[in-house]
Amino acid sequence: MTPNADIKKLQRNYIPDSFAISDWGALKPFFEELVSRDILSKDALENWLKDVSEMQALISEDACWRQIRMTCDTENKELEEAFHFFCLEIEPNIKPYTDALNKKLIASPFRKELDQNIYYTFLRGVENEIKLFTEKNIPIHAEIAILAQHYGTITGKMSVDIQGKEYTLQQAARFLMQSNRELRKEVYIKMSERRQMDEKALNTLFDELLAKRHQIAINAGFENYRDYKFEELGRFDYTVKDCEDFHDSIKKYITPIVENIYEHKRKQIGLPELMPYDIDAEPEGQKPLEPFNNGEELLEKSIQAFSNLRPYFGDCLRKMSSLHHFDLESRKGKAPGGYNCPLAETGAPFIFMNAAGTADDVVTMMHEGGHALHSFLSHDLALSAFKEYPMEMAELASMSMELFSMDQWPVFYQSENELKRAKAEELERALSIFPWIATIDKFQHWMYTNPSHTQEERTAAWMKIYSEFAPKNISWTGLEKTSPFCGKNNCIYLKFPFTISSMESPN
């Protein structure tokens, strides 16, 4: 049966329809009632779970909107304050009650009567949450949520002047595709210098985050934040050792393939050696792909591509469009990156990205659209908690959609040659992103297991780990002062309790 994209907002049965979160005082009576309710049968337990779920959906949607509005306009103080209010005045009060509800569920004699086929994964997650919870971490989590947001505020302000015009870094990255090498070099250096202007602020911010994250791990009885986070992310199926083996495999098998891709590129553009600003360049006489001109066109064409793939997929994007759940174009003041934010009550999620008219933006849109379909398809699940899939599962939907949608890309590329170029780029990207992923992951392992490092040691570790995975046929001669960065949109998958763990090089 084809699912219906015209999903309806969840009906409230426990909390009044008119209820909106104003302050903690308004929410507290519901939590009090849920914690103290007598549960005398399996049916009563299931009803109680539904009421808890309704509460979670309401809070999650409220928190997500605060975050969406703020990332769309990081310079608006009111929006920032609304987000801070939630982090400091609401969420810290919720957490002890969430723990009490978790414990009440696990202690209930009727828990064992719940159908394990439906509840097993959920109950495993609840037990994990109880294990990790400590009162001491509540204020630290709030501080981290706010600090992590500063990253978006600092980088959202970044812009560069090129040929007398101001561009966001996402827009400027388009120049790195031009065949004019002098221009590419100039833009690359300008982008790098602009980032370096905030080096001190970002390093200080990161030091603060690192110290707080380490404290959280210690408070929860772990040796370091890496080990704590591994459990918090619900990684029941693989270990730290598996990650390390994965890094080694990438180095051994993928980096040489990426070197071949770059060698092909070098020959194509006819250079003696490739510099970092040559990687995305087009050969002389070939213009970069221009799949769309603005956010509106990107959306229209995406709806068409999704519809051609399966009408239901297109209907999902149409539904989101009718609710104005898109903010696609890059502009100054927007947080970086792209995300699909599930909205637990409404069901139709929100897509945020920084499109500048490139082929990469099409991929990002297909990717976030994949997440969006996942949100639509899970909307009917009985409990909010059932919709909390781990990020590995989330990225499966999105990255698959990048590849599934490829045959529908003639919507974006009119000529056979352009289509072929776009597809080749996507297939190359699917491989060349692995060394970058391994670099970031190994770097995080290093940082969190060496929490007392200095900024200099961190930079040195970043450079060392970067060079371990980076293709060897890229020359940095003359660019030693710049630091490798990724200009591409990195998907940040949002969920509740929401964390944006923006990772960047320390430079």
Judged by the rule CB under 5 A, the positions of this chain that interact with Zn ion are: 395, 398, 491, 493
DSSP secondary structure string for all residues of 62-122: HHHHHHHHHHH-TT-HHHHHHHHHIIIIIHHHHHHHHHHHHHHHHH-GGGGGS-HHHHHHH
Nearest CA to 98 out of 66, 132, 124 is that of 132
Nearer to Zn ion, 207 or 395 (CB): 395
Is the CB of residue 315 less than 8 Å from the CB of residue 2? no
Q: For residue 109, which amino acid is it? A: P
As measured in angstroms, the least distance from the Cβ of 499 to Zn ion is: 15
As measured in angstroms, the least distance from the Cβ of 468 to Zn ion is: 25
Residue 176 DSSP code = G
Nearer to Zn ion, 98 or 398 (CB): 398
CB contact burial 58-92 (16+ within 10 A = b; e otherwise): bbbbbbbbbbbbbbbbbeeeebbebbbebbeebbb
Nearer to Zn ion, 309 or 401 (CB): 401
70 alpha-carbon distance from chain centroid: 15
Is the CB of residue 289 less than 8 Å from the CB of residue 422? yes
Nearer to Zn ion, 412 or 493 (CB): 493
As measured in angstroms, the least distance from the Cβ of 352 to Zn ion is: 12
Nearer to Zn ion, 191 or 491 (CB): 491
- The DSSP bridge pattern shows strands 350-355 and 326-329 to be parallel
Nearer to Zn ion, 295 or 369 (CB): 369
As measured in angstroms, the least distance from the Cβ of 487 to Zn ion is: 17
As measured in angstroms, the least distance from the Cβ of 501 to Zn ion is: 13
Is the CB of residue 181 less than 8 Å from the CB of residue 192? no
As measured in angstroms, the least distance from the Cβ of 354 to Zn ion is: 14
In sequence order, which residues have a C-beta less than 8 Å from that of residue 379 and are 6 or more positions away? 7, 347, 387
Nearer to Zn ion, 302 or 483 (CB): 302
Token pair 């469009």 in the structure block, residue: 321
40 alpha-carbon distance from chain centroid: 41
Nearest CA to 67 out of 82, 89, 54, 77 is that of 82
As measured in angstroms, the least distance from the Cβ of 491 to Zn ion is: 3
Nearer to Zn ion, 114 or 492 (CB): 492
Nearer to Zn ion, 169 or 401 (CB): 401
- Cross-strand pairs, 159: 168
Per-residue HEC secondary structure of 17-41 comes to CCCCCCCHHHHHHHHHHHHHCCCCC
As measured in angstroms, the least distance from the Cβ of 226 to Zn ion is: 22
- Cross-strand pairs, 169: none
Give the SS3 label for residue 251: helix
Residue closest to Zn ion (Cβ): 491
As measured in angstroms, the least distance from the Cβ of 129 to Zn ion is: 24
As measured in angstroms, the least distance from the Cβ of 298 to Zn ion is: 17
As measured in angstroms, the least distance from the Cβ of 340 to Zn ion is: 7
Name the E strands within 142-273: 159-162, 165-168
Nearer to Zn ion, 443 or 493 (CB): 493
Nearer to Zn ion, 156 or 369 (CB): 369
Is the CB of residue 303 less than 8 Å from the CB of residue 326? no
